[in-house]
Chain A
Amino acid sequence: MVATDEELVARSMAGDAESFNQLVLRWERPIYALAYRVIGRDEDARDVCQETFLRAFRALPGFKGQAKFSSWLYRIALNLCRDWIRRKKRTPVVDMPEGVDVVELAAEQGPVESIEDLVARREMSGIVADGMRLLPDEQRTAIVLKEYHGLTFQEIAELQGCPLSTVKTRLYQGLSVLRRHLESRGMTSLHNGRAS
């Protein structure tokens, strides 16, 4: 039977490092993806992810279980992303990971995807990444938390420290900017949805 986060947290607090490793294994991917989408750099996202778990490990004795463990981790990760953005003072960009070329990317997708599909998907991914780069940090973070991590409005409001209505406004404004960006890049499905 798979142990819950709460059980693993309790064991980790009792000094079982292996339980904490299981938590890391369970959450490293979502935390990395969050950091990558918010700050947009592979290497820095890895650093943020690692630092998130280090801080969580150190702060574990202070974790009283008021929030879910995942929310707690997200909070730490978002604070680190915010610090990173503030420190670097540069617009987040989305880089191709180091050492990866198009052939390798094609190989990773497996034989079920045709080259045309692959190219189209990579192209769309790049367009979306460009659009996300246009957004202010708060809007981008709200969209990432909602779209890719499935958090509720309330959870996002708690993580971002703002009212619920602000979260909805950020989402609306962010999606509208993305919509205009995608339309400008010739996304016909969005044109079809435009009001006459």
Chain B
Amino acid sequence: MSDTFVCDDKDTLIAYLYDEIDPIVRRRVEEHLRVCAACTAEVTALSSVRVELASWSAPETELDFQFVRKPAEVVPPAAWWSGVPVWAQAAAAIFLLAVSAAVANVQVRSGPDGIVVSTGWMSPATVVPSAAGPTTVATRAVDETWKPALAALESQLRNEIKSSRDAASNAVRASTRTTLDASTLKSIELMIQASEVRQQREMALRLTQFNRDVNVQRQADLVKIDQVIGQYAATSGAEMARQRQQLNLLRRVNNPQE
């Protein structure tokens, strides 16, 4: 860059006008302005344009854009048995089957007519001595062996299911409490904020309305005053014109040669 500022250097002039200029260059421009009337006038005029630009404002419209998200879908809590291992579930099913069979007094007999299945307590099963006797005895012996085993399995499963259920429900309860606490606090904060904003808006609205009412009234009064003054001016103008006509008429009557 040269040591002196030249009149055609409009970029530097604009940089000077907006005060985005190197201090050394600024000094050169200032030195030039002291001796150049044309550049001084231009800077003055452009500065005035900038002042006038400030009068142009965007309308004060209400915007209030809000982004709203759909609330997340609530996932239902998992079934209590989902924490129980599959093998335990299968064992429980078998156990229930066995208990049901015991309750229903299911009896399986094999005889000359083939295998016979009977249920119910009303007619106790009678042992028919036959060639198939040893088979029935063997079945009874097996029943006797299974009963304690089934009882043990039942109690074990009951304990296991109970402990699993307790653990699962505790976990669900804890997580629900944490989520609830955080979300409740958040929503309360949001409600408070929204309420404050609403109150501020209402207050601003009331003030604006009051302000507007006062000014509208003032405008109306000004218009009325203007109308009254206009009417008065019109009336007095007409009166003066009439008087002037009468004077002219009198003058013509007194001096017919005029």
Task: Identify the A interface with B (CB < 8 A).
Answer: 17-18, 20-21, 24, 28-29, 32-33, 36-37, 42, 45-46, 49-50, 53, 57, 97, 100, 103-104, 106-111, 115, 121, 124-125, 127-129, 132, 143, 146-148, 152-153, 165, 168-169, 171-172, 175-176, 178-179, 182, 187, 189-190, 192-196
Contacts and interface: CB of A to CB of B under 8 A. Distances in A.
Contacts of B52: 124, 127-128, 178, 182, 187
Contact of A179 (B14, B49, B208, B216): B49
B41 A196 contact: yes
The SS class assigned to the B binding surface is helix
Given A108-B60, A195-B40, 12 more contacts: A28-B65, A57-B67, A97-B59, A115-B219, A128-B52, A168-B10, A175-B14, A178-B53, A179-B45, A179-B49, A193-B42, A193-B45
Interface in B50-99: 50-61, 63-69
Contact of B211 (A107, A178, A195): A107
A190 B49 contact: yes
Query: Main SS of the interface on chain A?
Result: helix
B65 A50 contact: yes
B222 A115 contact: yes
A153 B15 contact: yes
B18 interface: yes
Contact of B61 (A18, A97, A125): A97
Contact of B63 (A46, A148, A193): A46
**Closest 8 pairs between A and B when the two form their complex, measured CB to CB:** A193-B45, A193-B44, A195-B41, A107-B215, A107-B212, A33-B58, A128-B56, A195-B38
Given A107-B212, A169-B11, A172-B11, A36 B59 contact: yes
A148 B56 CA distance: 10
Contact of B190 (A18, A20, A168): A18
B48 A189 contact: yes
A106 to B, nearest CB: 6
Contacts of B233: none
A57 B45 CA distance: 43
A148 B63 CA distance: 19
A160 B17 CA distance: 21
Contacts of A49: 63, 65
Given A153-B15, A168-B15, A190-B48, A32 B37 contact: no
A193 B44 CA distance: 5
Interface string B204-217: 00001001111110
A11 B62 CA distance: 26
B3 interface: no
Nearest to B38: A195
B197 to A, nearest CB: 9
B28 interface: no
Nearest to A28: B63
B13 interface: yes
Given A17-B67, A104-B212, A125-B57, A196 B37 contact: yes
Contacts of B211: 107-108, 110-111
B252 interface: no
A67 B175 CA distance: 40
Contacts of B10: 168-169, 172
B11 A165 contact: yes
Nearest to B72: A15
Given A57-B67, A146-B18, A107 B48 contact: no
Contacts of A125: 55-57
Contact of B216 (A103, A115, A168): A103
Contact of A121 (B53, B55, B58, B215): B55
Given A107-B216, A165-B11, A42 B67 contact: no
A164 B184 CA distance: 52
Contact of A32 (B51, B53, B55, B63): B63
Contact of A190 (B18, B45, B218): B45
A192 B47 CA distance: 12
Contacts of A46: 61, 63
Nearest to B18: A146
26 contacts: A17-B68, A18-B190, A21-B66, A24-B65, A24-B66, A49-B65, A103-B216, A107-B214, A107-B215, A108-B211, A108-B212, A125-B57, A128-B56, A143-B53, A153-B20, A168-B14, A168-B15, A172-B10, A172-B14, A175-B50, A179-B45, A190-B48, A193-B41, A193-B42, A194-B41, A196-B41
